[in-house]
Structure 1
Amino acid sequence: MTLTDVVLLVFIVLLLAWAIYDEFIMDKLKGKTLLKVPLLRRNRIDGTIFFGLVTILIYNNVTAGGAPVTTWLLSALALIAIYIAWIRQPKLLFKTDGFFFANVWVLYSRIKEMNLSEDGVLVMQLEQRRLLIRVKNIDDLEKIYKLMVTTQ
């Protein structure tokens, strides 16, 4: 196994661990999930570019007579890229004491201000950061509002 194969294997394991955390573990952390809100996907073009680059690497490896292990590892990386960019649904998980947004835990006490933009983007101002939450279904904003009112 070459250094390239080892690096590919490390990235595949890390991406799989992140995908398992995102899909299964995050829902179990920090208590019971009160509300799960699907979010709009962003940067789908980045996933497409990454998939295209990995496809080019697979083609070059096959035509140059590269190691089959490298081809299989690149194919696994391409499948993970497809999952992350097109299949996986980003979500906002509300818990009793806070919420998960972009896999980061945010306590309700950190929210200094909340606004709703004209185009339906929920803006939460934290101490030094602003979260722009783009929900998939506009009706979920009302659910978020009701939950925030009852938990505060």
Structure 2
Amino acid sequence: MTLTDWVLILFILVLLAFAIYDDVIMAKRKSTTLLTIPLLRRSRVDGAIFVGLVAILIYNNIASHGAPLTTWLLGALALMAIYLFWFRQPKIIFKTDGFFFANAWIEYNRIKAMNLSEDGVLVMQLEQRRLLIRVKNIDDLEKIYKLLVNSQ
């Protein structure tokens, strides 16, 4: 196996660990889950570019009669990228003491102000940054409101 194969294996393992953490482990961390809300996806253009570049590498490896293992590893990398960019649903997970947003833990006491924009984006002002929460279903904003009011 070449260094390229080892690097591909490393990237695949890192992406797999992230997918498992995001789908399984994060829901069980900190405390019991009170509410999970699906969020809108960001642009899929970056994912399409990445998958396209990996497809070019697969074609180049096949055309130059490269190692079959490298082709399989590139295919696995492309499948992981397709899962992460197209099938994985971003979400916000509310717990008893805080919530997970973009895989970061934020405690409720860090929220200084909350506003709702005209286009349905919940804006949470923290000490030094703002969180822009774009929910998939506008009715979920009421669930978030009820949860935050009842937790105070």
Relative to the length of structure 2, the TM-score reads: 0.99
- Report the Cα offset of residue 43 of structure 1: 2.3
Query: Does residue 81 of structure 2 align to residue 89 of structure 1?
Result: no
1:72 counterpart residue number:
72
Determine the C-alpha separation between the residues in 2 that align with 1:131 and 1:87.
Answer: 23
Task: Please state whether the residue corresponding to 2:33 is helix, strand or coil.
Answer: coil
- List structure 1 runs of 4+ shifted beyond 2 angstroms: none
Query: How many residues matched?
Result: 152
Percent of counterpart pairs with the same letter? 74
Matches within 5 A, 1:38-53: 38-53=38-53
C-alpha separation between the residues in 2 aligned to 1:11 and 1:112? 38
What RMSD, in angstroms, separates the aligned Cα atoms of the two structures? 0.5
Q: Distance in 2 between matches of 1:70 and 1:113?
A: 51
Structure 2's unaligned 5+ residue stretches are none
Q: Write the letter of the residue equivalent to 2:12.
A: I
Q: How far apart are the structure 2 equivalents of 1:75 and 1:149?
A: 47
Distance 1:39 1:135 in 2: 4
Q: Secondary structure at 1:34's aligned position in 2?
A: strand
Instruction: Calculate the TM-score normalised by the size of structure 1.
Output: 0.99
Per the TM alignment, residue 23 of structure 1 is displaced from its structure 2 partner at its CA by 0.3
- Provide the residue aligned with 2:111 in structure 1: 111
Q: Deviations over 1:27-86 (max 9, x none)?
A: 000111000000001021111111101000000000011111110100000000110011
What's 2:145 paired with? 145
Structure 1 unmatched ranges of 5 or more: none
Looking at structure 2, the residues matched to 7 and 124 of structure 1 have their Cα atoms a distance apart, in angstroms, of 39
Amino acid of the structure 2 residue aligned with 1:14 = V
